[in-house]
Structure 1
């Protein structure tokens, strides 16, 4: 095995997936079925990890390659993996991990004030069976952006709000309220009736499955509606600051999950975040089923 070694001082693309259980599940970019995977022990800080207390500079590339096969998986999508190798470090590896990723992060770290985690090592291993002819390895700081996101969502959803819609009143905006907005609604019952009207339109025009149950809003909490990396800022200590609350308001808890499901940018972030949220399968399916009523029949 031949390795080419390139030392970097940059930050990683963070992939962590807090999971109470080992879990395999399908996801579908376009028509391709890809398996994603995680292991619960990778997020358990009471565990002892292979390189705890070890100076990363003393670890050979060959040992890191071995850890790429044996360490606990924080997150895997397709052939790319991020593994927990110590309490402070992760290893990202796979045939799509190229030197350009680490070099880009090195450039950002050196030339800007953008907060990116540090990359401690980047190297490639020849593999003629892979598309680019190599498998790449990056050793990086372990970050907990997904954990912080989960805590933010949990706190938001822990506060019941007696009203429905934007705080202080006004029309509702966001993915599930048409391009023109909707409301204002005087009560949760009015909002529920509006959604059931949209569902009826979709069923009447065969644009939604007939077995979709009617909406039944039982609880309203503060929902951001646009949780995404583009709306997150890391402070100097690595804490997440969530910005752009333009679409925030009092909505059923499932709206937060459904908004992330319908967000097509940042697929890895979306997948990881969805795994640390309550599922609300029925409610998400309801919201997905009214797309026709929100777009073509937006004014109906």
Structure 2
């Protein structure tokens, strides 16, 4: 990875060829931090924007957000590493990473502002044909993520710099009472953790097997038959921007990491349910098409829902 004073450049790309000039190019870190103190939040600029309370619009072309890593001593947040990796290895439109600034115990991610509207606000305005184009595009994004080869992909969890230990994990699948779990040194450790939570859940349900079918349910293990792949884990209509440039942008990579492929499906299903709470409406067609976007993992989702109560305990 090549690091310039002002930005991070993916390997094999020249700073001038692939990064258009940014309007924070000539600003120092301290000047950016000063702008952040007074800059409006995106949610303040537009009532349409949902879930943008932590994003500061510091210049016309640039926003900042605080990294969400639980490991506060890290100097390179996992979301910044993910943005860089996805930009380098796929054609998925993502905000370009411009800088990471250390501010006391927080890492501030500086990235491009994406003009456009959240899919949650334009979905109902779209024709059926346009909706299907969105869904096919998102499916291609998921497939591209799963095809990424990375030296750290054998270790579950957020992306880490080479030689660094694994980081704690979070996503909708880990529940919210004890949001951060791990770190997990191997795929087997991740599977063992979920299998332990599954046993706890069965005890809490007082599920004593009385038939062969119930015995099979009780013995049903965490599915680690597929490889770990890069997953976004927060694909929902608020994190998809229909850009003014006509492209479909995928934002908010804070929960991304290497997990079983079925995590993307289950996380998207969970976030679709949460979306109904946030925007106070359901989108049946979106729900129907999630299996096409992420692949259908019905058995794994049922397993997770049986296990979920186990996440209420340490």
**TM-score of the superposed pair, with normalisation by structure 1:** 0.50
Higher CA-based Rg: 1
Higher strand fraction: Structure 1 or Structure 2? 1
